[in-house]
Structure 1
Amino acid sequence: MADVGVNWSALFPTKWSFVIFVTYMMCFIFQGIMVTASQRPDYSYSYNTVTVVLFTEATKLVASFILYMKDHKIVTLLTEMKKHFRVLLLYMIPALLYCFYNNLAFVNLAAFDPTTYFLLLQFRVVVTGIVFQIIFKKKLSTKQWISLIILTVGCILKQLSTSEKSSSSQTPPTSFWDNLLSLHIGLLMVQVLCSCFAGVYNEKLLKDTGVEVHIMLQNIFMYIDSIICNLAVLLYRGELAFAFTYTSLIQIWQPIVVIIILNNAAVGIVTSLFLRSLNSILKTFASALELVFTAVLSWVIFGIPINGWTFLAIALVSFASWMYSQNPVVNRGRLDEVEKAHDSEAEEKLLPRNAPTHV
């Protein structure tokens, strides 16, 4: 009889893995709910969303700096930044992709309810699997691909019953094909591609290319690049000057906006820990599992109904997650190699200088 149990040791390889997994889901669920709650009745925002993203990246940078300086000196920081300047430049790629992703999140959450938004984002699952195989040269098993495909089918089923939110000035598409060809679906697909490439590329930097760099220093690199990218977006939109005016700054001091900024900053820190200890494939499943909780919370808080198609889609997502948990992807990169080297260095420091080399 085949083993149908969850492979916990492979799914969560370290003692903190499960805590990081749950924290990641909670932060993202809360973010979707809070962004929706901050919308006006016409689904627009009373604040500059690009400014909010910029302040979020600045908050992440400050948090990473504080966490790094807790165990290091400023001289060490400057030395390491100079030594790993190439890694700083490489982080510009995921920073730019995440910049597009974060800004599109506000646009797409204004067009879809949270449950539909998160369901449609699951198209990134199959794309992530393909990109993961190419970048890490790891072939996914048949069972893993089947679970990814079932997950995608769940998204398609939900899409069959999806219609965009209506407004007084626009009549939303009513059929699947209208939705497929709509502008918002196109923008959401761009967001999906940004998420896939940024997540896998970031994991590559954390586990291989920049594995010897302290994780908080890597976060500092990421957020420096992210701030540059967001400033470029503001400049392109002609909103750079307005973003720092009194009117714009006072808007982000609304309690709900401050909560969004702080929570999104936590999301960034937790995501780096997630990709370091787990992997981008499991990250997509964590995002899918958010659907169950988001659907319930959206129904309770906003009165958004859970229809039959949504229920079936959530059931498929849950089944796919259970199926994947039996045979999860294990991708440690060069982490084990570096950790062994660090352990050896620590042991050498504990030995007396004149200790005999043999008995």
Structure 2
Amino acid sequence: MNEFKKLFPNKEAFVIFSLYIILFVFQGVFVTASKTENGGYDYNTTLVVFLSELLKLFISATLYTYKRENKPHLFKAIAINYNLLLLYFIPSLLYCFYNNLAFINLSHYDPTSYYILLQFRVVLTAFLFQFLFSKKLTNMQWVSLCILTLGCMIKNFDAASIQSKGDTDLWSQIFNIYFLSINFQNFCSCLAGTYNEYLLKTKGLNVDIFLQNVFMYLDSVICNFLILFYKGEVNTIFNDMQSLEDIIVILIIVNSAIVGIVTSFFLKNLNSILKTYASALELIITAVVCYILFNILITGFTILSICLVSIAVAMYFKNPVNNNTVNNDKDKKPLLEIVTE
């Protein structure tokens, strides 16, 4: 019980942790359901990402305005905290790189190789976490993270055993010229997440979390628009609005926006290390759900992966990283209202 209290300082933190996993499972299911028979998409994925960022910005601005009470109005608050707005360009730009590199790398890697390489972000996140917060992880925590990484990598061999059927060399697919590209993508993801947590708990400690979300997604919209402009897709992207008639695509956009808001609460009240464990649990749960809904085969690799991830989670829960901020009563009240409504 003491370990649980240390891991989740209050019930709201546990709700956020659970909601984060559930929403990401939904996202995986929605994206899988939106695929065509040949594994592609009949909608503009760039447009979906861009609209999702716009929706996140709208939700954050609305929630700040609704909950601001005696705080300054939105535009005045942005002017007062313009330095923080500029700092949020760092994680926003990194996330922008990550999203665009995902499409590039997926075009050169099969999904199995791609997701195997992405699991190295677990350990990379730990290194960046130590650097930014000047906290040293224990040996037990490092062992747990390594087991978690191995478990996630093994899970992704499911697709290899099904798709390759011995005809292709998985390792030759992994270690090619785009190996550096996917590692840079990993770096962008890890640094964006840990730096976002750093801003929430240091520079923006006394700034309303919804206002910080406005900074994050305003910068993100700007960065994504510049990428679209650079790629010459600004004029053509709006021609693909018809793809939004599909209810699954709408669910992807809405769910992605909610995930973004919940993630900010996760990083504010928990930490990036626990987020990697939540992502691993989401990976396993998604595999089970997709088996039930889409009859996607589960092999021995998944069973072994579940065992390893369970061991890693149990080890971490016994000795979690404590990097939670101490919130005052005013901070706790809106958090409870937003999360549990």
Change (3 A) 1:342 1:302: closer
1:199 partnered with 2:193: yes
Aligned-partner residue type, residue 271 of structure 1: T
Q: TM-score, normalised by structure 1?
A: 0.83
Matches within 5 A, 1:51-62: 51-62=47-58
Q: Which residue of 2 aligns with 1:352?
A: none
Q: Which residue of 2 aligns with 1:243?
A: 237
Report the structure, 1 or 2, having the larger helix content: 2
| SS of the residue 1:244 aligns to | helix
Q: Which residue of 2 aligns with 1:280?
A: 272
Matches within 5 A, 1:123-272: 123-158=120-155, 162-163=159-160, 174-182=168-176, 188-245=182-239, 248-272=240-264
Q: TM-score, normalised by structure 2?
A: 0.87
Q: Which residue of 1 aligns with 2:28?
A: 32
Aligned-partner residue type, residue 34 of structure 1: F
Distance in 2 of aligned mates of 1:311 and 1:35: 23
Change (3 A) 1:292 1:340: closer
Change (3 A) 1:104 1:252: farther
- Cα deviation digits, residues 29-48 of structure 1 (max 9, x gap): 11112112111122221111
298-307 vs 313-322, greater mean Cα deviation: 298-307
> In the TM superposition, what is the alpha-carbon distance from 1:76 to its structure 2 partner?
2.6
- Cα deviation digits, residues 106-139 of structure 1 (max 9, x gap): 66778666x9876653321110000000010000
Aligned CA RMSD, in angstroms, stands at 2.9
Distance in 2 of aligned mates of 1:52 and 1:172: 36
Matches within 5 A, 1:2-17: 7-17=3-13
Q: Which residue of 2 aligns with 1:354?
A: none
Unpaired runs of 5+ in structure 1? Answer: 344-359
> In the TM superposition, what is the alpha-carbon distance from 1:78 to its structure 2 partner?
2.2
Contact 1:35 1:106 in 2 (8 A): no
Distance in 2 of aligned mates of 1:54 and 1:116: 26
Matches within 5 A, 1:272-311: 272-311=264-303
Q: Identify which of 301, 321, 328 aligns with 1:339.
A: 328
Q: Which residue of 2 aligns with 1:21?
A: 17
Unpaired runs of 5+ in structure 2? Answer: 333-341
Q: How many equivalent pairs are there?
A: 330
Change (3 A) 1:29 1:328: same
> In the TM superposition, what is the alpha-carbon distance from 1:235 to its structure 2 partner?
1.3
- Cα deviation digits, residues 61-87 of structure 1 (max 9, x gap): 111111111123795322221111011
Greater Cα radius of gyration, structure 1 or 2: 1
> In the TM superposition, what is the alpha-carbon distance from 1:185 to its structure 2 partner?
6.3
185-194 vs 286-295, greater mean Cα deviation: 185-194
Change (3 A) 1:83 1:307: same
Distance in 1 of aligned mates of 2:174 and 2:199: 34
Contact 1:98 1:195 in 2 (8 A): yes
> In the TM superposition, what is the alpha-carbon distance from 1:162 to its structure 2 partner?
4.9
Change (3 A) 1:185 1:322: farther
Change (3 A) 1:189 1:37: farther
> In the TM superposition, what is the alpha-carbon distance from 1:307 to its structure 2 partner?
1.3
- Cα deviation digits, residues 50-107 of structure 1 (max 9, x gap): 1111100110011111111112379532222111101101101111122233345566
Contact 1:50 1:230 in 2 (8 A): no
Distance in 2 of aligned mates of 1:55 and 1:165: 34
Percentage of matched positions with identical amino acids: 47
Distance in 1 of aligned mates of 2:95 and 2:140: 30
- Cα deviation digits, residues 159-179 of structure 1 (max 9, x gap): 556539869xxx997223223
Q: Which residue of 2 aligns with 1:79?
A: 76
> In the TM superposition, what is the alpha-carbon distance from 1:315 to its structure 2 partner?
1.2
Change (3 A) 1:148 1:265: same
Distance in 1 of aligned mates of 2:77 and 2:223: 23
Change (3 A) 1:249 1:162: closer
